[in-house]
Amino acid sequence: MNIVPATPADTREIDALLDAAFGPGRHARTASLLRAGAEPIAGVSLVACNGERLLGSIQYWPIELLATDGDVMRLTLLGPVAVAADARTLGLGRRLLAASLAIADARGLDPILLIGDTSYYSPFGFDAGATADWQLPGPVDRHRLLLRQTRAMALPVTATVRAISALNSDAGE
């Protein structure tokens, strides 16, 4: 099994994997709204391949946190993580997560936000402690809005998480 950086050539296979894993409604989910108009972050978004077959993927996206005082902070959105149905017992999701977080840490991509299961992501340092009063462009279960910080920094208690493209279009760019 090889875990390598995802490339634009992988896009079609990644989309097929995500469709199979999350169904046709995946584009209406809040996390998808945060990714709208952005490109995955190269080098940290990874795929797992067995020969020519793509069995798993993990993607990271640039997003921003807009505080109520107008300050803007760069965040990284993790997700989706997907593994082919016939490969889900191989621990691929956790391997992709560990490998990509090591790269993200080395590149200083901090903090990292995701929407997911606490029991799965908490061993990797994610929790919902700081995100209780953050607003998103769609519905989210508060206990599933998880953040990972590897360096100490002040985060706003009340803020809006937005796609960078949405924030830039509001600024007339």
pLDDT tens digits, one per residue of 133-172: 999 999 999 999 999 999 888 899 999 999 985 444 443 3
pLDDT tens digit string along 82-127? 999 999 999 999 999 999 999 999 999 999 999 999 999 999 999 9
The confidence score (pLDDT) of residue 169 equals: 41
Q: Are 114 and 79 in contact (CB under 8 A)?
A: yes
The confidence score (pLDDT) of residue 152 equals: 87
Return the higher-pLDDT residue of 24 and 39: 39
pLDDT tens digit string along 33-91? 999 889 999 999 999 999 889 999 999 999 999 999 999 999 999 999 999 999 999 99
The confidence score (pLDDT) of residue 173 equals: 32
Q: List the beta bridge partners of residue 148.
A: 112
Global confidence as pTM:
0.92
Strands (E), 38-144: 46-50, 53-67, 72-83, 112-115, 133-135
The confidence score (pLDDT) of residue 164 equals: 86
- For residues 49-87, one letter each, b for 16 or more C-beta atoms within 10 angstroms of the residue's C-beta and e for the rest, the string is beeeebbbbbbbbbbbbbbeeeeeeebbbbbbbbbbeeb
The secondary structure of residue 66, as a DSSP letter, is E
The confidence score (pLDDT) of residue 168 equals: 47
The confidence score (pLDDT) of residue 165 equals: 57
